[in-house]
């Protein structure tokens, strides 16, 4: 019996296991070759050979019985052990549909083994009808949600809400983040947390991202017309530096589609939108799976003129090296740091360190989750370029957003004095650190 720390190196001729042994693990063959055989009076019968990249002894993981054949090393081998415990843990934490299907396959296999063991003629007693268990319910829920999301795409039940992003200096409008909502016919208005994780698990998120981009092309001219109606606001069609922008949250699944950059470009050009009006929001965790592949796609997006914003910056535990290799154009400071800034000097230091890092790299920052004047003033005093949060507006439907654009006040000049109450308090906090 082996444990999962085992990394076995076996030499030619060694026995790996013998018929009749109790087994609870399988082996991945990194290098070498192994022969599976049964011993008979008139000699060994070789059943199979397994080599590098294959698995051996896997039945032990599911039949909970003894080894039905022996295995010996025919070429020096390097093996990695997979234990029953490891497999069980993975099954228990996987997607509910996969968990149910695997559970059923393993159960059927065990029933077949029991049937063989008890003689081919005696069929196992058919099980009494049992009430479906939690596995079944979880799978039904996941499948139903998938079907409903497909229907939602077809019947246009999703809606893109927009939340303002402002220039922190003078509170002028800078752009909007697109945030999806689902007008569910039975459950009412659903927040992304209630369906985006399921869309990620099933891959439907790719269709949702495309829906968001198409939806942008529909609402973009409306936003542009509203901005034209407000002389105090910048235009969507201005030069790339001052143009208003819209951001869209994309998924790790999008970053493994080789044609993603071209698909986005095509959708934008069909809608007559310049790529410099769009920023794609990615998270650090999306970069971890296939950094080289993601870099290629993001480079192509950037070449087409789109901006790339790192969302929830500071929460992803990833290496910072991607900041120098990827074409990042904005960092979004996570709202957890902004929330605790006023009370926690450490959060303040994290925000000012991110700000310093971004300035060195010449990347502007957006501070997320600003709810109070005090937070806004502290961030402005740190020279954070942009702010987003309930203080400036909650995410809202297009009609509300158009009204907001039409009536958005002209930006004020950055204050020279620091007499205003919250501003003074912000300055005090900053000098305390």
How many CB atoms are closer than 10 A to CB 265? 19
| Pick 143 or 288: Cβ nearer Ca ion | 288
Nearer to ligand C2E, 192 or 305 (CB): 192
- 389 makes contact with ligand C2E (CB under 6 A): yes
Which one of the spans 141-149, 235-243, 343-351, 384-392 is the region binding ligand C2E (CB under 6 A)?
384-392
In the complex with Ca ion, which residue's Cβ is closer, 336 or 400? Answer: 336
The entry of ligand C2E, Ca ion, none that residue 77 binds, CB within 5 to 8 Å by partner kind: none
CB of 299 to ligand C2E, least distance (A): 21
Secondary structure, 3-state, the chain: CCCCCCEEEECCCCEEECCCCECCEEEEEEEEEEEEEEEECCEEEEEEEEECCCEECCCHHHHCCECCCEEEEEEEEEEEEEEHHHHHHHHHCCCHHHHHHHHHHHHHHHHHHHHHHCCCCCCCCCCCCCCCCHHHHHHHHHHHHHHHHHHHHHCCCEEEEEEEEEECCCCCEEEEEEEEEEEECCCEEECHHHCHHHHHHHCCHHHHHHHHHHHHHHHHHHHHHHHHCCCCCCCCCCCCCCCCEEEEECCCCHHHCCCHHHHHHHHHHHCCCCHHHEEEEEEHHHHHCCHHHHHHHHHHHHHCCCEEEEEEECCCCCCCCHHHHCCCCEEEECHHHHHHCCCCHHHHHHHHHHHHHHHHCCCCEEECCCCCHHHHHHHHHCCCCEEECCCCCCCECHHHHHHHHHHCCCCCCCCCCCCCHHHHHHHHHHHHC
Minimum CB separation of residue 367 from Ca ion in Å reads 11
Using the rule CB under 6 A, which residue among 249, 330, 352, 401 binds ligand C2E? Answer: 249
Rule CB under 6 A: choose which of 311, 374, 377, 385 binds ligand C2E: 311
To the nearest 10°, report the CA torsion of 229, 232, 237, 239: 170
Site for ligand C2E in 329-368 (CB under 6 A): 335
Q: Which is nearer to Ca ion, 142 or 350 (CB)?
A: 350
| Under rule CB under 6 A, residue 390 binds ligand C2E | yes
| Contacts of residue 336, Cβ cutoff 8 Å, sequence gap at least 6 | 315, 347, 369
Interaction residues for ligand C2E, span 160-219 (CB under 6 A): 163, 179-180, 191-193, 196, 205, 208, 212
Question: Among residues 83, 369, 405, 408, which is the contact residue for ligand C2E, using CB under 6 A?
Answer: 369
Q: Which is nearer to Ca ion, 135 or 281 (CB)?
A: 281
Find the shortest distance in angstroms from Cβ 267 to ligand C2E. Answer: 14
Residue count at the site for ligand C2E (CB under 6 A)? 23
Give me the least distance between CB of 277 and ligand C2E, in Å please.
17
Residues from 90 through 109 that contact ligand C2E (CB under 6 A): none
The residue among 179 and 226 lying less far from Ca ion, judged by its C-beta, is: 179
CB of 312 vs ligand C2E, minimal distance in Å: 6
In the complex with ligand C2E, the residue whose CB is nearer, 70 or 163, is 163
Picking from 157, 249, 251, 148, the residue whose alpha carbon sits closest to that of residue 201 is: 251
Q: How far is CA 417 from CA 375, 381, 382, 414, 424, in A?
A: 18, 12, 16, 9, 9
Rounded least distance, CB 76 to ligand C2E, Å: 48
Least Å distance, CB 30 to ligand C2E, is 37
In the complex, minimum distance from the CB of residue 206 to Ca ion, in angstroms, rounded to a whole number:
17
Q: Which is nearer to Ca ion, 249 or 375 (CB)?
A: 249
Residue with smaller CB distance to ligand C2E, 172 or 389? 389
Q: How far is the CB of 323 from ligand C2E (least distance, A)?
A: 19
Q: Which does 152 bind (CB under 5 to 8 A by kind): Ca ion, ligand C2E, none?
A: none
What does the angle CA 309 – CA 312 – CA 318 come to, to the nearest 5 degrees? Answer: 90
Which residues of this protein are in contact with Ca ion, per CB under 5 A?
A: 249, 281, 311-312, 368
Q: How far is the CB of 318 from ligand C2E (least distance, A)?
A: 16
Task: Give residues in contact with ligand C2E (CB under 6 A).
Answer: 163, 179-180, 191-193, 196, 205, 208, 212, 249, 251, 281, 311-312, 335, 369-371, 388-390, 395
């Amino acid at each position: 019996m082996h444990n999962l720390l085992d990394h076995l190196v076996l030499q030619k001729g060694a026995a790996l296991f013998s018929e009749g042994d109790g087994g609870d693990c399988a082996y991945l063959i990194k290098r070498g070759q192994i022969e599976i055989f049964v011993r008979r009076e008139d000699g060994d019968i070789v059943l199979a050979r397994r080599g590098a990249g294959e698995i051996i002894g896997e039945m032990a993981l599911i039949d909970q019985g003894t080894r039905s054949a022996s295995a010996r090393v025919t070429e020096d081998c390097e093996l990695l052990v997979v234990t029953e415990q490891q497999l069980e843990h993975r099954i228990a934490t996987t997607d509910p549909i996969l968990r149910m299907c695997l559970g059923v396959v393993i159960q059927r296999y065990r029933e077949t083994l029991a049937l063989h063991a008890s003689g081919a003629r005696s069929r196992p007693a058919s099980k009494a009808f049992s009430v479906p268990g939690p596995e079944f319910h979880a799978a039904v829920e996941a499948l139903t949600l998938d079907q409903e999301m497909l229907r939602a795409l077809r019947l246009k039940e999703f809606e893109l809400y927009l939340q303002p992003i402002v220039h922190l200096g003078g509170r002028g409008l800078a752009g909007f983040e697109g945030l999806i909502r689902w007008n569910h016919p039975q459950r009412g208005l659903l927040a992304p947390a209630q369906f985006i994780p399921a869309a990620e698990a099933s891959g439907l998120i790719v269709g949702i991202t495309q829906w968001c981009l198409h939806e942008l092309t529909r609402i973009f001219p409306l936003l542009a017309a509203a901005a034209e109606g407000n002389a105090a606001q910048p235009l969507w069609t201005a030069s790339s530096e001052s143009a208003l922008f819209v951001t869209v949250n994309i998924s790790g699944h999008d970053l493994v589609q080789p044609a993603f950059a071209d698909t986005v470009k095509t959708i934008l050009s069909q809608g007559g939108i310049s790529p410099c009006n769009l920023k794609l929001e990615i998270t650090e965790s999306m970069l971890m799976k296939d950094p080289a592949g993601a870099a290629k796609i993001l480079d192509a997006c950037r070449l087409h003129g789109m901006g790339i914003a790192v969302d929830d910056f500071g929460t992803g535990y990833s290496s910072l090296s991607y900041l120098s290799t990827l074409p990042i154009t904005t960092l979004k400071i996570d709202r957890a740091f902004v929330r605790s800034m006023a009370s926690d000097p450490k959060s303040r230091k994290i925000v000012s360190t991110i700000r310093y890092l971004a300035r060195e790299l010449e990347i502007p920052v957006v501070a997320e989750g600003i709810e109070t004047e005090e937070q806004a003033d502290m961030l402005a005093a740190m020279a954070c370029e942009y702010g987003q949060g309930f203080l400036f507006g909650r995410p809202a439907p297009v009609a509300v957003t158009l009204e907001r654009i039409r009536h958005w006040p002209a930006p004020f000049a950055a204050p020279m004095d620091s007499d205003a109450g919250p501003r003074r308090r912000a300055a005090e906090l900053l000098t305390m650190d």
